[in-house]
A and B are shown apart, each in its own frame.
Chain A
Amino acid sequence: MTSSNKAAAHHAPDVKMYFIIFGALLVLTAATVLVSYLELPKMLGITIGLMIATVKASLVAAFFMHLKGERTLIYGFLGLTVFFMAVLFLLPITDAVETEKNRQPMAVGSVLPQAAGEAHHEEAATPAAHEAPAETKKPAKSKKPAGAKKSAH
C-alpha cells in the first residue's frame, strides 16, 4: 500500500544517467576554465561563460534534482521565480545603461570649457549646467560628496 504511494511520490533513480551527467559536468567545467584562458573579447567571454554555467545548472536541475518528469505545479513555481529573477536582473541593468547614456553628454560637456573660453567671463561649470541640466544632474550629485569630503579633511 505504502510502496505504491512511495513510487508515485519519489522519482525512480537512474544511476547510469547520473554518471553520464557527472561526465558532462566535468567536461563543461574544463571547457569554461579553458575558454577563460583564450582571452576572448569581454562581452563574448561573459556570454560564453554564463551560457556554459546555465547548461551545467540545467543538467543538475533536470537530472539530479529530477526536474525532468516533475509535476507541473513545481514548474509553475520555478517559472515565476525565473520571471522575477529576470526582472531583478534587468531593471538595474537598464538603469545602468541609462546612466551610461547620460554619461556621454557629460563627456561632451567636459569639452565645453572651449566654449567657455570664448565666453571669457563665465566659469567652465556654468555653461555645462545651462546646456544640459538634466544630464549633468546625476554626475554632479556624485561629485558633490567627494568635494565635501575633501573640504572636511
Chain B
Amino acid sequence: MSATATQALGPSKTTTGIPNGKLGVWLFLTSEVMLFATLFTSYIVLRMSAPSWPRGWEELNVPLAALNTVILITSSVTVVLAYAAACERDKAKFNAYLWITILLACAFLVVKSFEYGHKFTHHHFPSTSIFFAVYFTTTGLHGLHVILGIAYFAWLSYWAKDNWDHELFVGRVEYGGLYWHFVDIVWIFLFPALYLL
C-alpha cells in the first residue's frame, strides 16, 4: 500500500521530464520572485518620488550587512554540499553540512536582530521615515523566509534519520536547497539596494 502511495508521489509520474516536486518548487519560486519584485518596485517608486533620500550607509550598518552577506553565501555553499553528500550517500557528511547550514542561518538572524535592536534603541522604527519603512518591510519579509528555511532544514534532518533510503530523499534535499539559494539571491539584491546605493 505504501509502495503505491510513494509511486503516486514519486518522481516517475511526470509528463514533463521534470520531477513534480522540482517543478512545483520552481513555480513557487517564480511567485516568490514576483512578491519581492513588488517590494522592489515600491522601493523604486518611493525613492524616485521622494524629495530626498538618505544614503544607505549613513543610516545602516554596512559591515554587519556585509558579514551577513558572507554568512548567507557560505550557507548556500554548505546546503549544496549537503546535497552533494546526499547524492554520494554519505550520511555523516550530509548531516554535518545540513546543520552547519542551519547554524549559519541562525547566525544571520542573530546579526540581523543586533541590527534591528540597534535601530530600535535609536528610535528608528518603520514609522520613522519612508526609508526605514522600506528597510524594515523588505528585510523583515526576507527574515521570515530565513526562519522558514531553518524550519524546513530542521524538519529535513529529523525526517532523513529514518528515510535515508526514501525515494524522495535526494529530491527533498535538492528542493530545500533551491528555496535556500533563492533566499540568498534576494539578499544579494537587498544588500546593495538598501545599504550601498
Residue numbers of A with Cβ under 8 A of B are: 2, 5-6, 8-13, 15, 18-19, 21-22, 25-26, 29, 32-33, 35-36, 45-46, 49-50, 52-53, 56-57, 60-61, 64-65, 71, 73-74, 77-78, 80-81, 84-85, 88-89, 92-93, 95-96, 99-100
Contact = CB atoms under 8 A, between A and B. Distances in A.
Contact of A61 (B16, B38, B74, B181): B181
Given A5-B11, A60-B76, A71-B16, A53 B45 contact: no
Contacts, number: 136
B170 interface: yes
Nearest to B80: A64
A95 B17 CA distance: 42
Interface string B82-110: 01100110000000000000000000000
Interface of B: 11-12, 16-19, 22-23, 26-27, 30, 33-34, 37-38, 40-41, 44-45, 48-49, 57, 62, 66, 69-70, 73-74, 76-77, 80-81, 83-84, 87-88, 167, 170-171, 174, 177-178, 181-182, 184-185, 188-189, 191-193, 195-197
A81 B17 CA distance: 21
Contact of B70 (A12, A29, A50, A52): A29
A79 to B, nearest CB: 10
29 contacts: A5-B12, A6-B11, A9-B19, A9-B22, A13-B87, A21-B77, A32-B191, A32-B192, A36-B192, A36-B197, A49-B193, A56-B188, A57-B189, A60-B188, A61-B185, A65-B178, A65-B181, A65-B182, A73-B17, A74-B18, A74-B26, A77-B30, A78-B26, A78-B30, A80-B30, A88-B37, A92-B45, A96-B49, A99-B49
